[in-house]
Amino acid sequence: MHSSPAKRGLRVYLVGGVVVVLAAGALLVAIFGRGSQAPAEPVLVAPSPAPETAVDYLAQGDEQLAAGQWEAALAAYTAASRLEPELAAPYSRGALALVFSHRYTEAIQWAEQAVARDPRSSEAHAVLALAYNWDGETARALEAARRAVQYDPNNGVAHAYIAEAQADQFKLAEADAALQRALALAPEDPEVLRVSGYVREMHQDYAGAAEAYARAAEVRPGWAHLYVAQGHALRVLHRYEEALDVFARAADLAPADPRPEAGLGMCYFEQEDYESAIIHFQRAIELDPNYPTGYGQLGVIYYQRRDYARAQPLFERAIELERNPVRNASYRHALGWIYLANNQPAQAREQFTKALELNPGLQGAREGLARLGAR
């Protein structure tokens, strides 16, 4: 069972320590479990030759990208681009590493450099679509993804990015059709599987989403963001022990990323262990002071406690930072109710209206506007 971080001291990033304990246990068995046997002869492996050409560096970057080593991959792609400045591939794949590092502005710049070098590169336009989408620019993402398909109709990942952008626009039937094309073309691609999970989530099929994310992680076990996505699907299913383990795995892979901490905080919040949840959300903000979810979820906790004075600035900060339309809408919706409680009807109406523009299905915002109409 998982003990809460409030009861275990401040080493909160190890919540979900079953993964860590198991890993340590396996190491102990490897070292001590065969004490009666003679040690094996060491295996000598010739070191890989140092990269010399742009192609060498590109191959090295691809290996590191597949392993989830974003900074190392980016360094290799940078070296390749310096040796062959006109190559598009180092820029498009470097952009992918930057997206997965959540450095979206830089990712867009790199992807644009790739497009500039090869305007008909389907790969370059597809990565640009992903960078736009994760930065909250859904319309531009959809345009770039469609261009990627135009230049290569068999690019399954590009079809997946069309599906992701359409899902963000709540065009789920269209997203389903694009996703089916992606799965037919690239059924084992980790990005196609990830988008499959995301579209399943938008359909509220969280079991299907968790399965898709788990399959993607089997293909790319070093990609922390896949475990974060899987953890949230498991959390919604109230499979908290599994979710904690998965978030802990993500934290091991990416200890500087605030997202696993936020996932752990959400698990504790939903189990009404608010003190542990606060520790994790605060830890997330310490890791990245510009991480909107940390502020937003802390705001939710204080909102639930009716501590509106503490919740209001947290929601305002989260709204300022959050580019995801669904999350931004939820924060605006809560802020609208705070304004309503504080007898600020004009401000409340503004927040409810903006929330519905971002997420037309947000019933709480509609109820808020209805309450204002009754006044």
At residue 196, the pLDDT reads 98
Q: Is residue 63 part of a domain?
A: yes
pLDDT in tens, 125-164: 999 999 999 998 999 999 999 999 999 999 999 999 999 9
336 part of a folded domain: no
Domain with 114, as residue range(s), is 54-182
Please enumerate, as own/partner, the contacts of 173-180 that have beta carbons within 8 Å and a separation of 24 or more.
175/199, 175/202
CA atoms within 13 A on the CB side of 327: 22
pLDDT of residue 375: 53
One-letter-per-residue 3-state SS of the chain: CCCCHHHHCCCHHHCCCHHHHHHHHHHHHHHHCCCCCCCCCCCCCCCCCCCCCHHHHHHHHHHHHHCCCHHHHHHHHHHHHHHCCCCCHHHHHHHHHHHHCCCHHHHHHHHHHHHHHCCCCHHHHHHHHHHHHHCCCHHHHHHHHHHHHHHCCCCHHHHHHHHHHHHHCCCHHHHHHHHHHHHHHCCCCHHHHHHHHHHHHHCCCHHHHHHHHHHHHHHCCCCHHHHHHHHHHHHHCCCHHHHHHHHHHHHHHCCCCHHHHHHHHHHHHHCCCHHHHHHHHHHHHHHCCCCHHHHHHHHHHHHHCCCHHHHHHHHHHHHHHCCCHHHHHHHHHHHHHHHHHCCCHHHHHHHHHHHHHHCCCCHHHHHHHHHHHCC
What pLDDT is stored for residue 50 in this prediction?
74
Structure tokens at 8: 């275990």
Is 311 within the bounds of a domain? no
Q: What is the pLDDT of residue 7?
A: 34
Amino acid found at 322: E
Q: Map tokens 């892979």 to a residue.
A: 253
Q: What is the pLDDT of residue 49?
A: 67
Task: Let me know if residue 148 belongs to a domain.
Answer: yes
Residue 70 inside a domain? The answer is: yes
Task: Specify the residue for token string 């009716």.
Answer: 306
pTM of the predicted structure, to 2 decimals? 0.79
Residue 173 sits in a domain whose CATH number is 1.25.40.10
- Low-confidence residues in the chain, pLDDT < 50: 1, 3-46
Domain membership of residue 199 (yes or no) is no
Q: What pLDDT does 374 receive? A: 57
Q: pLDDT at position 351, please?
A: 96
Q: Is 82 contained in some domain?
A: yes
Number of domains in the chain: 1
Which of 20-59 are b and which e, b meaning 16 or more Cβ less than 10 Å from the residue's Cβ?
beeeeeeeeeeeeeeeeeeeeeeeeeeeeeebeebebbbe
For residue 374, being part of any structural domain is answered with: no
